[in-house]
Every structure is written in C-alpha cells, then in structure tokens.
Amino acid sequence: MSETDLSPALLPHARDAVRALRPSQIREVANAGLGLDDVLPFWFGESDRVTPLFIRDAASAALAAGATFYTHNLGIAPLRAALAGYVSALHGATAVDHVAVTSAGVNALMLAAQLVVGPGDRVVEVTPLWPNLVEIPKILGAHVETVALDYGPRGWTLDLERLLAALTPGTKLLMLNSPNNPTGWVMTRDEQRAVLDHCRRHGIWIIADEVYERLYYAGEGRSVAPSFLDLASRDERVICVNSFSKAWLMTGWRLGWIVAPAPLMDDLGKLVEYNTSCAPAFVQQAGLAAVQQGEAFTQQLVGELKASRDHLVRALSALPGVDIKAPAGAMYLFFSLPGAAAGSLALCKALVRDARIGLAPGSAFGPEGEGFVRWCYACETARLDEGVARLRGFLEGRRAI
C-alpha cells in the first residue's frame, strides 16, 4: 500500500441521508449483553426453532441436483405458480404474472419502494413500526410522515380519520404493516376498505407488509388476517409484500414475495436484476416445498403461538404495574413496564445487565413506541416462565430501592 495524504475533509463517511438512518436500538441492547451467556433472548423477531426438516431437505436435494445457477429475475416458474395458488386460496384469484419472488421480505419492501417512490416523494406510515419500513423510503430520498396508533383500554387502535387526513392529495405512498410489528395490531376489514377507497380517490399507492398474515389468532381454521388482497383488484395501485420467515420459520433463508399489478412486473424484474438478480436457486426450491407441503406445519405453529401468547399475557398480567391486552396478530407483546416511560432503551439495557432478560425497547420502533417494551413469545413456555420470573425479581428489586 502506498502512503496516503488525506486532509480531514476527505476522511470517508457515508452521505448524510444514510448517516441519518436509525441504527438498531435492539442491537444496542443486545450489545449490552455481549459476553453474558445466560441472557434469555426475547428481543429479536425470530422463533427459537430451526426450520422444519422437510424444507431443509428440499434445499439439500436441490444442491445435490446442481441447482446452483442463476434463475429468472422474478423467480423459478414452479415457485411463482405455487405462490399464485397459495395466494389465490387465501385471497381470491391471483395469476402467476402478478407474483414475483424476492431475496427476503425486507428486500421485497425495498424493491416495492424503489418501484414507486423517488426523491422528494411524500410517504405516510402508521407507527409504532418495525424501523425498516420507515427508513427504506429515506434511502431513496423520500420524506416519511407518521401517524401514531392510540393505546388505550382496547389495546392498540387506529384513529382512521387521522390517517385519512394525513393521506393528502399528492401523497405518493402509504406503507402499512398489519398484523403489526411491534404492537400486534391488526387492521380491520372496514379500515382497509376506507383506506383503499381514499387512496383510490387520490391515486396514492399502498405497499402492504403482510408478512405476519398467517400469525393471526382471531380467525378459525386456516387462519389469515384481513388483507388488502381481499379488497383490491390485482391491477390497481396496491403492492402486497410477504415472506417465508414467519409462517414456515425460514428467517435465515432470506426469501419473500410480492403480489403486484402485472404491468409493473417488467420494471420489477429490472429492479430485481439491479438489487440481487434473483434469490438463490436452491433456496427457491426450499420455498416451493414450504408452500406445497407446509400448510399443516403452519397451522400447528399458529396454534402453538396462540397458546404462547395467552400464556405470556396471563403471566405478565400478574406482575404489579403491568397491564396487557392480547393482540390479534404477529408474535409480540408490546406493553408498558414500570420505569419504561423514563426511557425504554435504558430500561432494556438494565434488564439485560441486571436480570439477564433480552427485550426490545419500544423506542426502537419510533418515538411513538417510547414507554413500551417488545417481547417476542415465539419460544418454549418454560423459557417464557423463566423470563417472567426474572422480570418479577427485577421489578421487585427496583421497588425495594
């Protein structure tokens, strides 16, 4: 290497819009637990269980068969067809030319945002919210405005009129996540209908992040949350994003999909080419196995998660100063703890350090989440119980001081 002669002004840093993106406060809490080997991790949005064996075996079989080449930008044909069938069964007729495979659910969100928003565009989102949805448009130069959910006796609810008022003419995009991470809030069918009507009237795009749609506990049988796909035609300004991560425990696989108007697919294919080109071939084969053979697994998983949710709600509600409503969807409880109002980030760091419990601070999901903590309950009941016991000890210790 040669000598360099750099003035301080030339020291490298990312552009301002990227430096302004929020770092993960969940990771900041997790870092506070580095070196501690007995922390109970409820902080990440991930089950503690490995992907089902039949899905892993499908990937290994595809590898053995030599599926190591590029695929079509929009995904292998059998997977797109299987997804079209899956979506059709849940939400009404959906042709294969409305379906594209992506390199993760978050990648689907990035691609959908690239399709419709550019510099200066106005984007509206409902918070508290997984930060990725809020930050993605900013990478593309768009402005994001937020509408906060209300928290009250019925848990988290939407002030529909406030959201519609924020969706002013000229707004480019509404980006929504229901069932919602972190609150578990689920938008009702009536709310979806009102929002869709309003957005139609003003030509506003909707990107609906529905990755938790199967983790819905208010329905019967083959559970699925209300979806914009139930209401919208397939050729209007609605893009629905989904993922293999939640329904089939495939977080580490980075596989998702998009349902979008067919006229957008050529442009979406170009964006896939310029972002990741395609999802790995053998990962797509594993996704095919999940869609074709995974329904029984998903239904059992949803039953277990519902039981875990109810178990944790009961256990936490017995703690002094804790009041929780069981949310209808996702895999989190998002609730207020004594001491959280003074700063959920500091509280979560104290929890990991002093009580060895890993929770996500509410402020990680926007200022509207301050005062709350998020607990992912996708794990064994025994671990939940141990976590609640540790939390009780922590809270009693604080009160004793």
DSSP annotation of 149: P
311-350 residues near a copy of itself, rule: CB under 8 A:
none
In the complex, the smallest distance separating the C-beta of residue 180 from a copy of itself, rounded to whole angstroms, is 18
Closer to a copy of itself by Cβ: residue 124 or 279:
279
28-47 residues near a copy of itself, rule: CB under 8 A:
44, 46
50-69 residues near a copy of itself, rule: CB under 8 A:
50-51, 56, 59-60, 63-64, 66-69
Instruction: Name which position in 79, 84, 124, 136 contacts a copy of itself (CB under 8 A).
Output: 136
* Position 208 contacts a copy of itself (CB under 8 A): no
- Which range binds a copy of itself by CB under 8 A, 158-166, 278-286, 310-318, 366-374? 278-286
SS3 342: helix
| Distance between CA atoms of residues 297 and 353, nearest Å | 36
- Strand blocks (E) in 204-255: 205-209, 238-243
Locus of tokens 């089939």? 248
- Strand blocks (E) in 256-349: 256-259, 332-336
Closer to a copy of itself by Cβ: residue 14 or 401:
14
Residues 6+ apart with CB under 8 A from 299: 222, 223
| Distance between CA atoms of residues 105 and 120, nearest Å | 25
Closer to a copy of itself by Cβ: residue 227 or 313:
227
Closer to a copy of itself by Cβ: residue 42 or 151:
42
174-193 residues near a copy of itself, rule: CB under 8 A:
193
* Of the candidates 141, 111, 113, the residue with the CA atom closest to the CA atom of residue 15: 141
* Of the candidates 339, 342, 308, the residue with the CA atom closest to the CA atom of residue 326: 308
* Position 397 contacts a copy of itself (CB under 8 A): no
| Distance between CA atoms of residues 98 and 96, nearest Å | 5
Closer to a copy of itself by Cβ: residue 264 or 315:
264
* Position 149 contacts a copy of itself (CB under 8 A): no
Instruction: Name which position in 123, 163, 279, 322 contacts a copy of itself (CB under 8 A).
Output: 279
Please give the backbone phi and psi of residue 258, each rounded to the nearest 5 degrees, phi first: -125, 135
In the complex, the smallest distance separating the C-beta of residue 179 from a copy of itself, rounded to whole angstroms, is 19
Residues 6+ apart with CB under 8 A from 34: none
106-135 residues near a copy of itself, rule: CB under 8 A:
106-107, 110, 114-120, 132, 135
